[in-house]
Every structure is written in structure tokens, then in C-alpha cells.
Amino acid sequence: MKLKDIASFAGSMLLMAAVVFGIYALKNSDAFKDKMQTGDPAAVSETETKVDGNRAESAEAEAGTEVSMKTVLKTAWESAGEMRGWIAEAFGEKFVGLSGQITLEAGVLDSTDEGDNGAASTEEMQDDGRTASSYLQEAESLAAGYFYAEAVSLLEAAIAHYPEDGNLREAKEKYQMAQSELAAYAGVVAHISMQSLIVDPDKAFDGDEMADAYEKTAVTVTEFRNILEEMYAKGYILIDIHDLMSMSEDSSGDVVYSPEKPMVPEGKIPFILSVDDVNYYAYTEQDGFADRLVLDAGGSVKCIYNNGGTETVGDYDVIPILDAFVAEHPDFSYRGAKGIIALTGFEGVFGYATNKTDSGIYSQDAATVSNIAARLLKTGWRFASHGYWHQNTADISMETLELDNARWEAEVGSLVGTTEIYVYPDGKEVEYPGEKLDYLKSEGYSIFCGTDEKNILSIGTDYIRQTRILLNGTGLTAKNSRLAEFFSLKDVIDPKRPD
Ligand SMILES: [Zn+2]
């Protein structure tokens, strides 16, 4: 890493802090509070303009020219291999997305700590403190999630310690073979999109004014569990959206995409999952949805469910349910891939009011959200912008889109990490090509996900477009539903779903 890069990297950190602080200070002003109470996104434009002004000024002061955060991070990423883990951990999905490193790290730590303890007592230990069987066990758990290359490297290290051990050599050959048998998937890779799950159907489908909307837009915990079992049995396997492309650099140093066929084991069908609005909006309170995400004592992401004032921690939404499912069935996920979490910001993140920067517990909420986000990134999840206000990207003005994105980056991106994935609110796409697309690209977005009747995947040199299939109540109950391709509709439907 060059000194210049470190300097500009540090400069950008200061810049980011200055922007966040600037917004924090502005929001504490009375003028801002008055405007926010109107609840009208347009009413905050003046404040946002000031924020933008601050950003531009600071950028000039820091670097002499406006350097985008993403450009600097990208440079740091490219020139400092050893820093990748750290950058990914600190700043998020974009950088994790470029390598399987972080996911692997978490997988190894999680799976081997226990294994070592069991094996060490029964075998003679060599100078590295590890037994041959603990190596074998770790390699096996790596290979179960298709980390074949990593399993092979580990076994090579083990063989250096135990040159006479036939089991180690045999395992190494087995995983080399498995790696060589992965094949490029030639079919269309579906992208399934869903929202937070209904935990208590009696509350969601209780006939109140929201019941009909929930029936159409959401699926229940029971349905999601059934769907996972069915898709797993049919050979579906989660992949990361980045597996659809490879990235290289052109002569000017810009990232260039080219299409890739994902490599999967024979008979497996890759798919991508995304979950929108994991924000736990106020309107779902008391309607049988989870309340917020938390980290449990073991560091896993769980949900808090609030049942009339009694809070319980558990697997009450897509994230912890899928995490547990993949832990049980590692072959359901290619190299630890989980899903894309598309976040808004207008009601905070993960159930924490990070939109209220003057709440008195803002710094606590922000730290909680950052910690949860870091864990999610380590365990195969990716983040996307879903717009700050969940406005229709196709319909809003350029000016509104700019304000919306600046606000998202300041309040959400600053906590979960910068991202190149943009999931259109309500699936409404911009024009390709077009002014809004150019703007979003200039802000660092390069993977655009909308919804469409057809599966569309187009990979250009500087952006990717993929459309998504909605996994919701309407889809579960519709005649000729596209979802019938993935599982048997009648088998997965919650008996508590109204007819
Ligand atoms: Zn949404």
C-alpha cells in the first residue's frame, strides 16, 4: 500500500466523520426538528443541501479535489491485500463481496473451535498443538460448505506435520476431486425477493386495516421454513450475487464486469435471495412481526419478538432462520453465501431508531446496528441500498434521488458499510441508459435489482441488472405462480393463511 493511499484513506475517514457529525449537528438544530415533524421528505431538502455543501467543502479541504469514499476504499482494497479483511470488517459488503475471505474466516472459527476441544484429548499432539483428526475435522467442515481449496491448503499444512498419515492424504485427494468436479451452471439463475416474516399469523391476519396487505406481501415463519426444506430437497443452493460476474480493471483503473457462470456441484441449482426492508417499521408493531435484531451471547444474529410486552429472543425472521438452516445444511450455501439485505433509513435500521440522531441513545443504537451489520457481513450476508425513504426511483426527480441517496449514505451506509448494490424500492427500475442510472453509478452503485415478470440478467461493463421474483403471499396463492418452479405451493402454505 502506498503512503499516498494511506493518507487519502485516512483523509476519507475524517471526511466521513465530518459528514456524519455535520448531519448530527444539523439535526439537533430546531429548524431541522420543525421540518422533520412534517414527515414530508421534501421538507428536509434544505438541510440536506447544507449537508452536501459541507461534504463538498470538506472534500476540497482534505484532498484538494473531491475524492469519493468508495474510490478511496477501492484503491485501498486493490493495493493492500493484507488489509482486505480489516477493510471488509470495518466498511462492509462491497469489499467482502470481492472475496470469500471473511465468510470463510467466520466459518472456520465457528466450526473448528468445538472440534479441536474434542479431538485434542484423544490424540498425541504435535508441535503445532493440533492433532491430525482436528485438521481432518476442520477440512471436512470447510468442504461441507464448498471451501474445497481452503480444505486442501489446510490438509497440506497438516500433511507437513503428519507426513505418515494416510487419512490426511486421502481427504486432500477427495477435496481436490470435488473441486475439479464443480461445473459452470448453464441455466438462468433466479433471484428471489422477500420481506420480513409473519411470526404470529393470528395477529397479522386479524382482519384489521393492515391484514390484507400482509396477506399479499409477506410469508409466515412456517411457510419460510417449509420453503427452505423443499428447495433444499430439490437441490437449490444459495450463491452470492457476485458469483454471476467477474471483476477486472481497465487501463484507467476502473472496475470492469464480465459475465460468469457460477460454479456449482453437479445437480445443484444456484439461486440468489434478498430480503427487503429489514427495518421493522412501526406499522408492524403488535401485528405479529419481529421487533428488532440483536446479537445473542454467542454473537449470532437473532430477533426480539415482543408479545404484548413480553420479549423473547429467537429465530423470528429470515436472517436467523436461514443462518440456522445453513449451519445445519452447509451444502445449501455455496461458500457461505446467504442473502442481500436491502435497507431503507427513514425509520432506522434493524429496529433501532438510527434516523433519530438526537434521541439521546443514538450513539448506542448506532453501535448496536454497526455490530450487527459486521456480524452479518462476516456470515455471508450483503447489504443494499433500498433508498432512504423507499420512494419510487423511476418517478422521483433527480434532485429528490440525490437527497435520498445522500441521506442513505449518511445514516445507513455509515453504519452498515458502503455498498454497490441498489435494490429498487417496490422494484421500480430507472431507464437504462439514463440520467438516474448515471447518477447512481457515479455514487458507486453497480448492481441494480428490480422486479419484473421475466428473469432478466444483463451484465454490462460497468453495471449489472438483475430482476427478482417476489416470494410473497400473492405469489404463494396465485394461479400459474412463478414460485411453483421452486417448491410445491400447496405443501408450503401455512394452514393459518386465510383462504
Ligand atoms: Zn421495500
Mean pLDDT by 10 residues, the chain (499 residues): 41 43 41 33 32 33 37 38 34 33 34 36 57 97 97 97 96 98 96 98 96 97 98 98 93 90 96 98 95 97 96 98 98 98 98 97 98 98 98 98 98 97 97 97 97 92 96 96 97 96
- Residue whose grid cell is 416470494: 471
Locus of grid cell 435471495: 273
* Spacing, Cα 424 to ligand 1 middle (Å): 8
The HSE-up count of residue 246 (CA atoms within 13 Å, CB side) is: 7
Contact 279, 349 (CB under 8 A): yes
Question: For the chain, how are helix, strand and coil distributed in percent, rounded to 5?
Answer: 50, 15, 35
The alpha carbon of 304 and the centre of ligand 1 are apart by a number of angstroms equal to 21
CA 445 to CA 401: how far, in whole Å? 13
Task: List residues bridging with 276 in a β-sheet.
Answer: 195, 342
Distance linking the first and last C-alpha atoms of the chain = 61
CA of residue 445 to ligand 1 center, whole Å? 18
> What backbone phi and psi angles, to 5 degrees, belong to 394?
-70, -30
The packing angle between helices 84-91 and 69-79, to 10°, is: 150
CA of 45 to the centre of ligand 1 (A): 22
Q: What residues form DSSP beta bridges with 193?
A: 274, 470
Q: How far is the CA of 347 from the centre of ligand 1 (A)?
A: 13
Task: Give CA–CA dist 227/219, Å, rounded.
Answer: 10
Measure 483 CA to ligand 1 centroid, in angstroms: 19
The bridge status of strand 340-343 relative to strand 382-385 is parallel
pLDDT at 255: 84
CA of 355 to the centre of ligand 1 (A): 17
What gap in Å lies between CA 495 and CA 476, rounded to an integer? 13
The rounded Å distance from CA 66 to ligand 1 centre is: 32
382 to 26, 139, 272, 300, 327: CA distances (angstroms): 30, 26, 11, 16, 18
- 343 C-alpha vs ligand 1 centroid, how far in Å? 8
> Would you give the DSSP letter of residue 189?
P
* C-alpha cell belonging to residue 270: 444456484
Distance 425 CA to ligand 1 centre (A): 5
**CA of 376 relative to ligand 1 center, distance in Å:** 19
CA 325 vs. chain centroid, Å, equals 17
Residue in 144, 193, 140, 147 with CA at minimum distance from that of residue 167: 140
User: Quick one: how far is CA 156 from the chain centroid?
Assistant: 33
Superfamily of 184-492 according to CATH: Glycoside hydrolase/deacetylase (3.20.20.370)
- Measure 426 CA to ligand 1 centroid, in angstroms: 5
Instruction: Give me ligand 1 centre to Cα 390, in Å.
Output: 6
CA-based nearest residue to 149, from 176, 188, 121, 174: 176
Decide: 269 and 237 in contact? Cβ < 8 Å: yes
Q: Note whether 294 and 313 are within 8 A (CB).
A: yes
- The count of other CB atoms within 10 Å of the CB of residue 374 is 20
Q: How far is the CA of 216 from the centre of ligand 1 (A)?
A: 14
Q: Taking Cα atoms as reference points, which of 140, 96, 107, 133 lies closest to residue 118? A: 133
Report pLDDT for 449. 98
CA of 25 to the centre of ligand 1 (A): 29
The pLDDT of residue 128? 66
- Distance (Å) from CA 342 to ligand 1 centroid: 8
* Spatial CA neighbour of 175 closest among 126, 141, 208, 201: 141
Instruction: Select from 117, 128, 121 the least CA-distant residue to 158.
Output: 128
Q: Cα(323) to centroid of ligand 1, in Å?
A: 22
| Domain assignments of the chain as residue spans, ordered by start | 3-96, 101-144+147-181, 184-492
Ligand 1 centre from 141 Cα, in Å?
36
